[in-house]
Amino acid sequence: MTTPFYPRDPLRHPPALTPGYKTSVARSPRAPLIAIDPTLSELTGPSFGPGDIAPGDNDLLTNHARAGESPIGERIILHGAVRDENARPVPGTLVEIWQANAGGRYRHHRDGYLAPLDPNFGGCGRALTDAEGYFAFRTVKPGAYPWRNTPNSWRPAHVHLSLFGTGFAQRLITQCYFEGDPLIAHCAIAQTLPDPRGIEALTARLDLAATLPFDAIAWRFDIVLRGRRETPFENRP
């Protein structure tokens, strides 16, 4: 695990300063990032195992619900595979998610939206990918909600995801949107991405084949983490 990663493609990620997303203005570094040769500190990273999660952690329909009850909302399965840029599965990696409830309200002291909290919904879950890099969560589809950016800004329905991989340099937090949501085109955060193909990559697709009849609609969201070069320290002088 000491093989360097491919460099990040700056056109794939939002720049630090995106004035349309106003909060980025005072929180964006202005000096360029300093590129460093990869060291063990970036090429290694935390690892996780079954002891880090509990059974049911990936089931947001039950993990914070009262016994015998479940949250209100559209029942969904959010699933996919974590692979690297070399198209290899990333097994055993931790996937953490968080989201608003079906009404668009987060269980967080800072969220004061009118929509009510759901006593049966915590809005967070975690899973370890299997040997093929596959993960699956059961949850409710989050609602859209307003936020203070322009006077009339609404976030499209989205789920936040946090990913690790095998090296700290792969650390990634992102958001998954849902195919067909008209708010995506109006969202200042989605629109921080410099290339529309980036938004495509963040859009979960309806997956009828994995949908459970009379139970839950499935949405497919595949994730790609940075890949390692084939040869250690290639192209070094």
Partner 1 sequence: MRPLKETPSQTAGPYVHIGLMPGAAGVAGDAHELGHDIAGPDAEGPRIRIEGRVIDGTGTPVRDAVIEVWQANAAGIHAGPGATVEPGFRGWGRVATDPASGGFAIDTVKPGAVPGPGPGERMQAPHLSLWIVARGINLGLHTRLYFDDEPEANAADPVLSLIEWETRRATLIAARAPDNDALYRFDIRLQGADETVFFEV
Cα–Cα distances in angstroms (integers) from residue 54 to residues 51, 84, 129, 177, in the given order: 7, 26, 14, 27
155 part of the active site: yes
Sign of CA dihedral 204, 207, 212, 217: positive
79 part of the active site: no
By CB atoms closer than 10 A (0-12, 13-18, 19+), residue 228 is buried
In single-letter form, the type of residue at position 34 comes to I
Segment interacting with partner 1, rule: CB under 8 A, options 52-60, 69-77, 132-140, 208-216: 52-60
Site for partner 1 in 153-192 (CB under 8 A): 160, 162, 168-169, 171-175, 189-190, 192
107 part of the active site: no
145 part of the active site: yes
Kindly name the residue from 83, 106, 226, 228 that is annotated as catalytic. Answer: 106
Site for partner 1 in 202-221 (CB under 8 A): 202
Q: Which of 61, 77, 78, 97 binds partner 1 (CB under 8 A)?
A: 97
236 binds partner 1 per the rule CB under 8 A:
yes
Token look-up 């015998």 returns 68
CB of 191 to partner 1, least distance (A): 11
CB 93 within 8 A of CB 163: yes
Q: Which of 68, 71, 75, 124 binds partner 1 (CB under 8 A)?
A: 124
Segment interacting with partner 1, rule: CB under 8 A, options 49-57, 71-79, 127-135, 205-213: 49-57
14 binds partner 1 per the rule CB under 8 A:
yes
CB of 49 to partner 1, least distance (A): 11
d(C-alpha 16, C-alpha 29), whole Å: 7
Kindly name the residue from 13, 64, 107, 160 that is annotated as catalytic. Answer: 160
31 binds partner 1 per the rule CB under 8 A:
yes
42 binds partner 1 per the rule CB under 8 A:
yes
d(C-alpha 144, C-alpha 165), whole Å: 30
234's CB contacts (< 8 A; 6+ apart) are none
d(C-alpha 195, C-alpha 193), whole Å: 6
- Which residues does the annotation mark as catalytic? 106, 145, 155, 158, 160
